[in-house]
Amino acid sequence: MDYRKYNTDTFAVTRDLNDFDKDTENIYESIVVLAKRANQIGLDIKEELNRKIEEFATTTDNLEEIFENREQIELARYYEQLPKPTLMAIHEYMHDMIYHRNPSKERESIE
């Protein structure tokens, strides 16, 4: 997934807590949803980065190649400039891009 397409803040912003509990009616449940989504995004980014790094793996170590590999530098800059996974999760939550459910609430409504 291309996380650069998100037009999200790259720094922390003061937010109104009432915006977070509009869907779940519980701020703590909303924070759990955000934390789980941030973990998913972080793992996706890590797996994508590891796949791209494997392309640069060599069996021999050549000191000149290590210092002069521009592609690796560009790759590192790209991932350094990405917003943090938490900020991406907040962006998704605020724009209703996250599907979440609470199985315990579903069980209570059935009983």
Predicted confidence (pLDDT) per residue in 40-62, tens digit: 999 999 999 999 888 877 666 66
- Listed in sequence order, the residues at least 6 apart from 63 whose beta carbon sits closer than 8 Å to its beta carbon are none
- Whether 103 shows a pLDDT value over 90: the answer reads no
Residues 17-45, mean pLDDT to the nearest whole number = 91
Distance in angstroms (rounded) separating the CA atoms of residues 98 and 93: 6
What pLDDT is attached to residue 74?
86
C-alpha angle 10/11/13, rounded to 5°? 125
